[in-house]
């Protein structure tokens, strides 16, 4: 069951990132509704997969999970912001890349997780 949650979390994360960058590339009003619906569903699937993994693996709320939740919130908001402020697409692209790198870093290095502290 952990593999199902893991696949759901990672796959929806990749697709959410793709949808977000799609919103940056083409923030036209006629694409807004569909893009935001897809981003919302993918965001919910990513959250469900992440918390499902967390429950199955028995993780508590360590620092790295708070970092991941903050990154998830920021990433989830980016597609909506792209449609509200299309003139900021370049800056939002860089910010989104930094958010993604921070989330990946927190998974691999797990700051605040006792078993990984040397």
So where are the chain's domains?
2-116
> For position 118, what pLDDT does the model report?
46
> For position 45, what pLDDT does the model report?
98
Whole-number CA gyration radius for the chain: 15
In this structure, are residues 42 and 19 in contact, taking their beta carbons and an 8 Å threshold? Answer: yes
* Alpha carbon distance 48, 27 (integer Å): 27
Q: With bands split at pLDDT 50, 70 and 90, how would you rate the model's confidence at 117?
A: very low
In this structure, are residues 82 and 22 in contact, taking their beta carbons and an 8 Å threshold? Answer: no
pLDDT greater than 90 at residue 10: yes
28-31: long-range contacts at Cβ-Cβ below 8 A with a sequence spacing of 24 or more? 29/83
In this structure, are residues 103 and 68 in contact, taking their beta carbons and an 8 Å threshold? Answer: yes
Has this prediction a pTM greater than 0.85? Answer: yes
Q: Cα–Cα distances in Å, from 72 out to 80, 87, 100, 116? A: 14, 23, 9, 23
């Amino acid at each position: 069951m952990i593999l199902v949650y893991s696949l759901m979390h990672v796959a929806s994360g990749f697709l959410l990132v793709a949808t977000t960058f799609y919103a940056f590339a083409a923030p036209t009003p006629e694409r807004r509704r569909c893009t935001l619906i897809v981003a919302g569903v993918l965001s919910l699937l990513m959250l469900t997969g992440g918390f499902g993994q967390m429950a199955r693996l028995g993780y508590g709320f360590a620092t790295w999970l708070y970092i991941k939740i903050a990154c998830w919130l920021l990433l989830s908001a980016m597609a909506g912001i792209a449609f509200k402020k299309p003139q900021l697409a370049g800056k939002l692209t860089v910010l989104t890349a930094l958010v993604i790198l921070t989330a990946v870093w927190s998974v691999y290095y797990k700051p605040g997780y006792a078993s990984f502290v040397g």
